[in-house]
Structure 1
């Protein structure tokens, strides 16, 4: 499948694919949320549907990427990922925040906070 639709979680299987999706999100001024996960991790599987809901909720304001830490070790190491799941929040190539663990409310609230801050910032500068 070439090019992923907005409102979906994009699974990155190569470093090139990850870099391209990250660049695309940054260029669009979106909040890029990366779920560093593992297929063998129970909490990762438990939080996945929540992450997908968030992607559907903010299709135009967020880019939601999923990286398997065993498949893309190089990418995980570059973000100093020590455990799964780890969520990393990036805008304009800057890491705004990251946290470890499958916490649905924390995930939703952090995404909402950064997306609401963007909306407020762009509204006040318009």
Structure 2
């Protein structure tokens, strides 16, 4: 199953990058606040970050990972628990899971993604000449 996980890969490519998640932690595309939804470079950072399902922290880089043996039920349960812990409606877990699975289906495993409000792109970091 292809899912998003936190990664430190490509961190620092943008000056305002951050990664307060646990490496490899399941993450989701959390809703942005008003300021973060209009400016990915806002102080809050929510318009440029993904949210950790366990830590409830953020990261500006997401890795598309294949987690063999991880089932849809496992994923929905993880989302349900995370939403409940954040005082968000746990009954939204199935809808969120389906949306995230549809989102990740369009990306290759191993791709590092960045978020700019509602725009997502592969994080490409040029290799210095050498």
**Does the alignment reach a TM-score above 0.5?**
no
- Give TM-score scaled by structure 2 length: 0.31
Larger fraction in strand: 1
Larger fraction in helix: 1
> Which protein has the larger Cα radius of gyration, Structure 1 or Structure 2?
2
